[in-house]
Amino acid sequence: MYSYEWPVPGILYGVLVTSNLAKGRITAVDSAAAEKEPGVIAVLTPFNAMKLPGGAKPDTGDRVVQVFQDDQILYSNQPVALAVADTFERALHAAALVRVSAQPLPFTVRMADELHAAFPHDIRNAAGSRPADQLRGDVETALRQAEHKVEAVYETPPETHNPLEPHATLAVWSGDRLTVYDATQGIFGVRKKLAKAFALPPGNVRVITKYVGGGFGCKGSAWSHVVIAALAAKQLGRPVKIALTRPQMFGIVGGRPQTQQKISLAADKDGRLIALRHESISTTSRFDDFIEPAALVSRHQYQCENVETKHRLVRLDIGTPTFMRAPGESSGSFALESAIDELAHELGIDPVDFRLKNYAETDPTEGKPFSSKSLRRCYELGAERFGWQKRTRRPELMLRAGKLVGTGMATASYPANYTKASALARMRPDGTVLVQSGAVDIGGGTYTVMAQVAAETLGVPYEKVRFDLGDTEMPEAPRSGGSTTAASVASAVEAACRALRQKLDAMGGRPRQPVEAFGEVAPSEERKKYALHSFGAQFAEVEVDPDLGMVRVTRLVGAFAAGRILNATLARSQFMGGMVWGIGMALHEHSVYDEKLGRIMTRDLADYHVPSHKDVVIVDPIFIPVEKDEIVDPAGVKGIGEIGITGAAAAIANAVFNATGKRVRALPITPDKLL
């Protein structure tokens, strides 16, 4: 059951009214026509909504929200009112009748307008915080003296998450206790935000999330509608639920920021990298700072004495962007891995050989050893599976049924994140086991793999174990973001089950009363001494129609080294999902703004293109056994939710170059860029 579907008697339906303007001040909201319609209970606006007891900005290090506490319009599609009725259809109809008057203010959604005001911003994510800039060696001199150089700007567009389940929140109050069923990747973050907004102790707020229909980062934060649902339920004294419509997914709940990335690379005549500079600029809103850490990948990907990376932000009048599958590494690897391909081509060295020549045995910027790597095996096995040796090295016409055919490859990597997590395991006298942890399952198979891990650790059959999650009454687990869940929660489940096993062994077998044990894990000091990443190699074959400029990815092979694989079927599916999204990133996805209106115009799945089955021909992930990594986390698991998309867009762009001789440095690779 998804969050919107919980059967709650007397539930009211809320539908958001959103702003047509990109910036302004609301002067009036006319809801008279809406309120006259049958079944309409109320229209909440900045003029009649209750004031939040926790203050106008219930921000907890999470995204800043717009929840009817003031008259400001900060971006197009911002929530400005909520129509509430006794059925969804009546609420939708009422929302359409609400008229918002506002005084427009000047704005821009164009990155070029604000580049002059770009500013550095440090990076904070699941892997910790890092400075915006890093310099090792003397990049300037190395670049000046180099015989072979590539210097280019790569661009990635704003993109929008489109999980099949849109965001949805159902809020029920009972006195000063709030229960929320929310489509979220992290129930404890939602609890924290709501507790702050309503000035409640966190224990008064319960968040439940049993199934999530896709997360991908947009559900990693509690956005405006979450607070609005709780506010409406409080003010109206009845449970209220809100689901975003598909067009409301565009702007209110994040999206991938636009990036401009300048890469400067230099190599000596033998193909050894001697300088690497990666300067990334990404967009954020006027009122909140989300930074896409696109240059981080260049800090660890290749051996190089002189490396410089920089991150800058520019503010636009847009909704705040957020994490989107492999935030940083997906956009950053497009730039870096395209530039590496350009340099290999200029040197006349095979792209795999070039990467092997510059293989980093230790982290090149921090000097730390990798906890495990196995990237060489990924190159080898991926190349073998793909048939890379048959490749034609120079871009020249290779025709198949009238189409130009080309191949390309790229390196994939993503940090192996691991955070504090806890779990509870209980055996009943009948021998069945219940294991609980307040994690969520965003579609990756958390229920299945955690039951497996518990069964293996306890030495009981899988059928005897039930794993339950998604409730803040359970032991705390991290947000399912940054590919942390499998690593963190599996380690906690193992700890709880080992403790339970010990108790059971001490008792000499099956208990007469239920017996339970708690397990908690957290990153060790030892872990900080290592560079921790998953790695992989992506290989793409494309066909390009020379008359129409249409690109088709006919084959995508990815070889990944991602630690211990808990379930091969589910892992394959995760890798495939990431790689398919790589096709979307390379060829389709683009939240196109109307710059005069400041509004995303591609606000449904007809206009916002994602790969369909016809766009996905062969997607073939393989994963390779790695040496047991005991440093990364106790379970030896590296997350796999995100690495599949990294490098994929570059491999495809590199294949397009191989097929056509055209280097497209701005995604997506649409026909107009090839004709």
Burial profile 329-363: b = 16 or more Cβ within 10 angstroms, e = fewer = bbbbbbbbbbbbbbbbbebebbbbebbebbebeeb
In angstroms, what is the minimal distance from the CB of 158 to ligand MOS?
15
Query: Which of 481, 668 has the CB closer to ligand MOS?
Result: 481
Residue 533 binds to ligand MOS (criterion: CB under 6 A) = no
Select 382 or 443, whichever has its Cβ closest to ligand MOS: 443
Q: Which of 487, 485, 445, 449 is nearest to 629 (CA)?
A: 487
Q: Amino acid identity, residue 472?
A: T
Nearest distance from residue 215's CB to ligand MOS, in Å? 5
- Nearest-CA neighbor of 596 among 101, 26, 21, 111? 21
Is the Cβ–Cβ distance between 232 and 145 less than 8 Å? no
Among the candidate windows 22-30, 323-331, 404-412, 621-629, which touches ligand MOS by CB under 6 A? 323-331
Query: What residues have CB less than 8 Å from 380, skipping those under 6 apart?
Result: none
CA distances from 461 to 452, 466, 505 (A): 9, 11, 17
> Among residues 205, 324, 427, 450, which is the contact residue for ligand MOS, using CB under 6 A?
324
Under a CB-based contact definition with an 8 Å cutoff, are residues 343 and 150 in contact?
yes
| Residue 185 binds ligand MOS, judged by CB under 6 A | yes
The span from the CA of 380 to the CA of 643, in Å, is 18
CB of 497 to ligand MOS, least distance (A): 27
Helix (H) or strand (E) holding 421: strand 421-427
Q: Which is nearer to ligand MOS, 382 or 647 (CB)?
A: 647
Residue 582 binding ligand MOS, by CB under 6 A: no
Separation between Cα atoms, residue 228 and residue 66, nearest integer Å: 9
- Preceding omega of 257 cis (within 30 degrees of 0): no
Count of residues that bind ligand MOS according to CB under 6 A = 11
Q: Rule CB under 6 A: is residue 267 a binding residue for ligand MOS?
A: no
**Rounded least distance, CB 381 to ligand MOS, Å:** 27
Percent helix, percent strand, percent coil in the chain, to nearest 5: 30, 30, 40
The least distance separating ligand MOS from the CB of residue 643, rounded to whole angstroms, comes to 11
Question: Rounded to the nearest whole angstrom, what is the least distance from the CB of residue 256 to ligand MOS in the complex?
Answer: 9
Cα separation values, 652 from 1, 148, 411, 585, Å? 38, 24, 12, 10
189 binds ligand MOS, rule: CB under 6 A: no
Minimum distance, C-beta of residue 439 to ligand MOS, in the bound complex (Å): 13
- Per-residue binding string, ligand MOS, 117-146, x by CB under 6 A, is ------------------------------
Nearer to ligand MOS, 164 or 401 (CB): 164
Per CB under 6 A, contacts with ligand MOS among 463-502 are: 481-482
Query: Counting Cβ atoms within 10 Å, is residue 502 exposed (0-12), middle (13-18) or buried (19+)?
Result: exposed
Classify the phi-psi angles of 299: left when phi > 0, otherwise alpha if psi is within -120 to 50, otherwise beta: alpha
Nearer to ligand MOS, 224 or 331 (CB): 331
Q: How far apart are CA 675 and CA 672, in angstroms?
A: 5
- Contact segment (CB under 6 A) with ligand MOS among 242-250, 317-325, 507-515, 618-626 equals 317-325
Token duo for residue 591? 């939240």
CA 668/CA 585 separation, integer angstroms: 6
Site for ligand MOS in 201-260 (CB under 6 A): 215-217, 220
- Options 277, 310, 325, 373; binder of ligand MOS; rule CB under 6 A: 325
- Which of these, 99, 97, 100, 89, lies nearest to 245 by C-alpha position? 89
Cβ of residue 134: shortest distance to ligand MOS, in angstroms?
22
Distance in angstroms between the alpha carbons of the first and the last residue of the chain: 48
Answer for the pair 97, 25: CB distance below 8 angstroms, yes or no: no
Among the listed ranges 3-11, 272-280, 318-326, 405-413, the one in contact with ligand MOS (CB under 6 A) is: 318-326
Annotated active-site positions, please?
642
Locate 202 and state its tokens: 């966190």
Residue 505 Cβ vs ligand MOS, minimum distance, rounded to whole Å: 39
What are the φ and ψ backbone dihedral angles of 387, each rounded to 5 degrees? 80, 40
Residue placing its CB nearer to ligand MOS in the complex, 4 or 216 = 216
C-alpha–C-alpha distance, residues 373 and 413, integer Å? 10
Cβ proximity to ligand MOS, 443 vs 558, nearer residue? 443
Closer residue to ligand MOS, CB minimum distance, 14 or 327? 327
Distance CA 292, CA 323 (A): 8
Closest residue to ligand MOS in the complex (CB): 217
Q: Kindly indicate which of the ranges 37-45, 152-160, 320-328, 400-408 contains the residues binding ligand MOS, using the contact rule CB under 6 A.
A: 320-328
Using CA atoms, how far apart are residues 582 and 273, in angstroms rounded to an integer?
27
255 vs 327 by CB, closer to ligand MOS: 327
- Contact between 644 and ligand MOS per CB under 6 A: no
* Shortest spacing between CB 551 and ligand MOS, in angstroms: 26
Compute the distance between CA of residue 190 and CA of residue 184 in angstroms, rounded to an integer.
8
Q: How far is the CB of 79 from ligand MOS (least distance, A)?
A: 22
Q: Is 18 left (phi over 0), alpha (psi -120 to 50) or beta?
A: beta
d(CA 89, CA 449): 39
User: Applying CB under 6 A, does 323 fall inside the site for ligand MOS?
Assistant: yes
Choosing from 79, 271, 319, 327, the residue that interacts with ligand MOS (CB under 6 A) is: 327
If the CB atoms of residues 18 and 484 are measured against ligand MOS, the closer one turns out to be 484
Of 319 and 481, the one with the shorter C-beta distance to ligand MOS is: 481
Q: Contact between 581 and ligand MOS (CB under 6 A)?
A: no
Stretch that binds ligand MOS, among 324-332, 354-362, 451-459, 514-522 (CB under 6 A): 324-332
Binding site for ligand MOS (CB under 6 A): 185, 215-217, 220, 323-325, 327, 481-482
